[in-house]
Amino acid sequence: MGIINANKELSQTQINCGDSFQVTLSLAAQPDITSNPTDIVLILDRSGSMAGSPLANLKSGAKKFIDIIDEATDSNMDGQIGGGSRIGIVSFSDTATQDTQLITSVADLKAAVNSLNAGGSTNHEDAFTKALELFDMISSNIKVMIMFTDGVTTAGGNPNTVATAAKALGISIYVIGLSGNGGLDEQALRDWASDPDSAFLAITPDDAELEDLFENLARNITKPGATDIVIKDQISSCFKITALSSPTKGQATLLNNNLVQWKISSLGTTGTEGASFTFTVSHEGICTGEVIVNDSITYSDHEGNTVTFPDPSILVDCGTEVIGEDCPDIVSITIDGCEDTIEFDAGDLELESLGQILQLDVTLKNVCPEKRVALAVILNEVDEYDNEYKRGLKTLTIPAHHKSSCQDVIVRCIKFVLPQDLDENTGCSCICNERKLRARLIAHYVDHDFECCATAVTASPSAPSCGCRINKKKLSKELTNR
């Protein structure tokens, strides 16, 4: 069957600046269906949340899958699945229905798919049970379940019990999830899928992609597994690869900080087989927000399998960013018509200083919400004898952020002018010398919730419980004198 599934997933959906996360690549492959007859059961979700375009796209994808199997098994689309392979249809909502047995008629399979209507809850346990009942366990055919669902289990028992039993009997389970229709229990889908689950699981938020997912699953079935596999993953310059784990199959090599190569000599040539490889990536640079992790990923093998990996992104949170000092005012100039030259008065400009401009950026860690911060920066220049010379002091009030928890705040553009005639690192008047500087930064909260204690005194009409007696007249007089 060639490469049946390819996946790329991230260990996290969000990180802070400079944090690390893991990237996992995975593949699944099966032998050629023409010489290895295969029984396939499509398990299709028809619960209420599938109404409209999701169900329409599911039907298109399932029928495309059937057509590809038809052509692959006997080299033509003659309406009959050949070579001893068969397909069955199970659909489910409140309960599951065996819409067909394991059959070879393309027309009957498509009719069963076309008859599906959306409605009801989601019973995954009954779906797996009805699918398992279709298989003849005495048959030597390869056995495959393809579960499609768009929601969590809302009816029936624990589907993982049946899925685990099916896998123990040698049945491979592929899972396709649609995450845009009320949410998925992704961990449950991983538990159902064969191992490594990343190679047997595909999730999309867009029902328009369902046809492509089903097509990709069936497209390579005419190829005898895969040999001489080479995968190269080039990650974005916003990240760098910091560590490689050992692949479950094959070898991985770090070619540079942004490029990793994974080679597998053979996969799925004698039976259903999966492989995965994980590497660690760290954020670097100034990229923030939603960032796509890889620049490109390429796949090749001896058989010419066509493989498409997902293109995941991760949210990089670098906290609140504050610009310490504004840039100079911009002067706008307009050229009208076809004038070759123009004279423009840009106004008066005072010479600030001769020398260099030093710009500092600093990150204030874990600043609490609704609190301003006073920031002081002291800059000194250091000569060859480690003597320090004052070069400037800047004080800034950093505005409060309004997020729900403490956040890092980046303060950029704290500028100091360094006149050349104050250069203490050389005896000559040369320009562009190396200059050694030392900065000290101090930060404190401006806002606090401190309040003075109340000065009111409440006198009790009775004596205190400790037995002491209070001279009320004297106490009143003392308070009056104050």
Q: What are the tokens at 44?
A: 């299709």
- The answer to whether residue 337 is domain-embedded is no
Evaluate if residue 256 carries a pLDDT over 90.
yes
Answer yes or no: do 171 and 45 share one domain: yes
pLDDT value, residue 480: 38
* Domain total in the chain: 2
Answer yes or no: do 307 and 360 share one domain: no
pLDDT value, residue 456: 52
- The answer to whether residue 209 is domain-embedded is yes
Mean per-residue pLDDT for 4-23? 88
Which amino acid is present at 386?
D
Neighbours of 327 (CB within 10 A): 8
pLDDT value, residue 449: 72
Answer yes or no: do 80 and 224 share one domain: yes
- The answer to whether residue 150 is domain-embedded is yes
Tell me, what CATH number does 439's domain have?
A: 2.60.40
427 pLDDT tier (thresholds 50, 70, 90): low
- The answer to whether residue 481 is domain-embedded is no
- The answer to whether residue 331 is domain-embedded is no
**Reported pTM:** 0.50
Last residue of a domain, one of 317, 345, 363: 317
DSSP state of 83: T
Q: Are 96 and 122 in contact (CB under 8 A)?
A: no
Answer yes or no: do 270 and 133 share one domain: yes
Answer yes or no: do 299 and 405 share one domain: no
Answer yes or no: do 199 and 286 share one domain: yes
Please state, for a pLDDT cut of 90, what percent of the chain lies above it: 32
Answer yes or no: do 144 and 50 share one domain: yes
pLDDT value, residue 307: 83
Tell me, what CATH number does 84's domain have?
A: 3.40.50.410
Q: For all residues of the chain together, what is the average pLDDT?
A: 82
The domain containing residue 89 runs over which residues? Answer: 2-317
Answer yes or no: do 387 and 251 share one domain: no
Task: Summarize pLDDT for 335-373 with one digit per residue, the tens.
Answer: 777 777 777 777 776 665 556 788 888 888 888 888 899
Answer yes or no: do 141 and 235 share one domain: yes
Residue 41 neighbours by CB under 8 Å, 6+ apart: 87, 88, 89, 90, 102, 131, 134, 135, 144, 145, 146
pLDDT value, residue 266: 87
Q: Are 177 and 186 in contact (CB under 8 A)?
A: yes
264 pLDDT tier (thresholds 50, 70, 90): very high
Rounded Cα–Cα distance for residues 241 and 257 (Å): 5
Answer yes or no: do 147 and 265 share one domain: yes
Q: Are 256 and 2 in contact (CB under 8 A)?
A: no
Task: Summarize pLDDT for 110-165 with one digit per residue, the tens.
Answer: 999 999 999 999 999 999 999 999 999 999 888 999 999 888 888 999 999 999 99
334 pLDDT tier (thresholds 50, 70, 90): confident
pLDDT value, residue 140: 87
* Phi/psi at 390 (5° precision): -65, 135
Answer yes or no: do 251 and 388 share one domain: no
Answer yes or no: do 415 and 294 share one domain: no
Q: What are the tokens at 283?
A: 């954020």
- The answer to whether residue 451 is domain-embedded is no
